[in-house]
Structure formats: structure tokens, C-alpha cells
Amino acid sequence: MTAALYSLRAGRSVKLLEKENFGGQIADSPRVENFPTISSISGLDLSSRLFDQITALGADFDLDEAMSIEKIDGGFLVKGKSGEYKAKSVIIATGVKHRHLGIEGEEKYLGHGVSYCAVCDGPFYKGKNVMVIGDANSALQYAILLASQCPHVDVVTLFDKFFAESYLVNGLKALPNVSIYHNLSSISFNGDGNKLSSITFEDTKTHERKEFAEDAAFVAIGQVPDNERFSSIIKLNRGFIQTDEAMKTSADGVFACGDCREKKIRQLATACGDGAIAALSASDYVFKTTSN
Ligand SMILES: Cc1cc2nc3c(=O)[nH]c(=O)nc-3n(C[C@H](O)[C@H](O)[C@H](O)COP(=O)(O)OP(=O)(O)OC[C@H]3O[C@@H](n4cnc5c(N)ncnc54)[C@H](O)[C@@H]3O)c2cc1C
């Protein structure tokens, strides 16, 4: 959306394709406290503000999933699940998607007790006992949020410690309705076929199996890129898009920004910075190729 903002302000017309929700990952965050000039804001509020800003400037948008990008005469053809779109230049900002555990019952109970977003699905389990699986910032943010609306929250990690910022670890440990379990490897999500009722784990040290009765389990074990579909036109490294400092990919006229590209720090501020650069580079590319 930042790339759209800068493109619009550079006088370009913009078509934004989004497969799920405008706002991306940050819409999952209950509280953002590191975005310059805003001391505290919900992720949903922040992304709605940006969406309003770009639509007010004239951004055109469609809910569609981009499946491929092809070079055609005078530009590119983006094929979506439900439509086809022509553009002089393309900016890819596909972010990352939630990593799955890949265990039995995960797909079956997805949306029926298994979730990857506490902000989106937490309210459905108000007053119920829930579990968070994960050991880093997102998992702890989820657990703290859920502890404010659920009687009890179990937090389970694979290793023997957390890999989160210390204020989150201390905040979590201070909560009276949270239990923490380390060294547990997840085995299966169980239920009656319609609804999750428990989760089975194996202790990585004793190999003993343990079953936790829960109404919901929130999985927060990191994110993975989803760019293979573009690999015929641009270069990827371990699934992430390779770019230079101008956000140019290996294909002339195709740019990438944010978490989807190969980089060290994946944060809101860095994604916005990338978006601004990608937009200005794309705008420059369009100017050069159309004025020749
Ligand atoms: C729970 C949580 C809390 C976080 N908290 C913070 C924080 O406090 N501060 C901070 O700086 N960062 C935080 N982050 C990280 C931050 O959200 C990301 O770094 C940032 O959102 C990256 O933006 P992006 O636009 O690159 O990607 P994303 O936010 O992942 O957006 C990508 C968008 O592209 C869409 N998409 C993907 N593939 C396609 C396709 N083929 N066709 C159409 N649309 C597609 C997706 O649906 C998504 O909406 C948090 C992340 C999470 C998950």
C-alpha cells in the first residue's frame, strides 16, 4: 500500500491486487508501538488508515490472487485467479504467509479450533481455554492478548526457552492465567471431526506423550515466502525475491518490496521504506520506457 501511495503521488495509475485482506500481516497485530510518529495503534487501525489514504488518492483495487506474471508487448500481463491485468510495470509485495506445523489434524481443524491469527479469531474463543504454540514475538503477543479474554492460556514451545523481546517474556510470565510448557514437539490436533478438542505433544527429552484439552490452538511459528509462482520471470533465493537497492528484480520492469524479498530485517518500517523505493523506481522505469 505504501508502494501504491508513492506511485499515485508520482502521477501513476495504480491497480492493487490483494488475495485476502488489505493490510497484510500487520492487521494481525493487536498493538504496534514501533511505527514512527504513532506511539501505539492497533495493526488493523494502522492498515485501515493507509487503505483510506490510497483510495482517497484514487487507487483502484481488486480482491484477486496473482498467479503469474508474463512479459507482453509494452509491459506485463498478471494473471489472477479471477481476472487478467495489464501493466507497464509490476511491483510484487506478497509478504510472507504463516508457517504450518504440518501435523495430523491441522488442515481438518483449521477454522474449527486451529488458527494462525489471535487478533482475527481470538474473539471467537472468549471465555474458553486456549493454547498458543510458538516461542517468538508473535506467539507471545498472541498469548498476552488471549490471556485478557480467556480464563486460561497454555503456551507451548519446542525448545527450552523463548526467542522473544524481554518485555514480552516478562509480561507473559507475570500473567496469573498463563501456563508455560517447554520442550514439547507437536504430534496431532484431535477432535470429533468437526471441532478441535485436544492437542497431543511429545516431550523432546523424555519422549513421553502429553495431551492438552483445549477449545482452540493458535499457531505462531514463523512465516514463509510464497513466490514460487513468479519464478519463471524473476530470481528467488530460498523462496525470497532477489532485488538490488532500487528494489529491481532480475526482470526489467518488475520490482519487489517488503517481507517477500531477500533481506535481513522484516518490519513495518522497512517494508514501507522498500515500498517507497520500489514505487519511485517503477515510476522511473515507466517514464523511461514510454518516452523512448
Ligand atoms: C502478529 C504480527 C505482529 C507484528 N508486529 C509488528 C510490529 O509491532 N512492528 C513491526 O514493525 N512489524 C510487525 N510485524 C511484521 C510486519 O507486519 C511485516 O514486516 C509487514 O507487514 C510486511 O509488510 P509486507 O507488505 O511486505 O507484507 P504483508 O504484510 O505480508 O502483506 C502482503 C500482502 O500480500 C497479499 N498477497 C500475498 N500473495 C498474494 C498474491 N499472490 N496475490 C495477491 N495478494 C497476495 C497478502 O494477503 C498480504 O495482504 C508483525 C507481524 C505479525 C504477523
Span 109-115, mean pLDDT? Answer: 93
In the prediction, which pLDDT does 81 show? 98
* Whether residue 292 has pLDDT greater than 70: no
Domain with CATH 3.50.50.60 in the chain: 2-96+225-291, 114-219
**Ligand 1 atom closest to 25 (CA):** 29
Could you tell which of 19, 20, 21, 26 is best to mutate to test the pocket of ligand 1, judged by most ligand atoms within 8 Å of the CB?
Answer: 26
- When pLDDT is cut at 50, 70 and 90, the band that residue 29 belongs to is confident
Farthest-apart Cα atoms in the chain, separation: 70
> Mean pLDDT, to the nearest integer, of 33-58?
95
In the predicted structure, residue 140 carries a pLDDT above the cut 80:
yes
pLDDT classification of 121: cutoffs 50, 70, 90? confident
Quote the ligand 1 centre to 95 CA distance (angstroms).
5
Average pLDDT over residues 75-88: 98
End-to-end CA separation in angstroms for the chain: 29
Please give the pLDDT value at position 260.
Answer: 98
Helix axis angle, 2-9 to 43-56, nearest 10°: 20
Range in 74-83, 156-165, 249-258, 260-269 the model is least confident about: 260-269
Examine the pLDDT at 40 and tell me if it is beyond 80: yes
Q: How far apart are CA 194 and CA 109, in angstroms?
A: 7
pLDDT confidence of residue 85: 98
> Which residue is closest in CA terms to ligand 1's atom 20?
268
The pLDDT assigned to 32 comes to 87
Segment 28-41 mean pLDDT:
88
Q: Average pLDDT over the chain, rounded to whole?
A: 96
Res 164: pLDDT: 96
214 DSSP assignment = -
- Model pLDDT, residue 120: 78
State the CATH class of domain 2-96+225-291: alpha beta
Nearest alpha-carbon partner for 92 in 290, 235, 265, 291 = 235
Q: Are 193 and 173 in contact (CB under 8 A)?
A: no
Q: Which residues contact 175 (CB under 8 A, 6 or more apart)?
A: 144, 147, 153
When pLDDT is averaged across residues 68-84 and rounded to a whole number, the result is 97
Residue 264 has pLDDT above 90, yes or no: no
Q: How far apart are CA 16 and CA 7, in angstroms?
A: 11
Q: Judge whether 257 and 277 are in contact, CB under 8 Å.
A: yes
Q: Given the DSSP bridges, would you call strands 184-191 and 196-203 parallel, antiparallel or unpaired?
A: antiparallel
User: Can you tell me which atom of ligand 1 is nearest the CA of 23?
Assistant: 49
Of the ranges 27-36, 148-157, 283-292, which one carries the lowest mean pLDDT score? 27-36
Of ligand 1's listed atoms, the one at least distance from the Cα of 96 is 30
Percent residues over pLDDT 70 in the chain: 100
Give yes or no for a contact between 190 and 196, defined as CB atoms under 8 angstroms apart.
yes
Q: Are 3 and 277 in contact (CB under 8 A)?
A: no
Note whether 112 and 191 are within 8 A (CB): yes
Query: What is the per-residue pLDDT for 180?
Result: 98
Could you tell me if the CB of 258 is within 6 A of ligand 1? Answer: yes
Answer yes or no: is pLDDT of 119 > 90. no
CATH topology of domain 114-219: FAD/NAD(P)-binding domain (3.50.50)
pLDDT, tens digit (0-9, with 9 covering 90-100), for 173-224: 999 999 999 999 999 999 999 999 999 999 999 999 999 999 999 999 998 9
Contact (Cβ atoms closer than 8 angstroms) between residue 141 and residue 30: yes
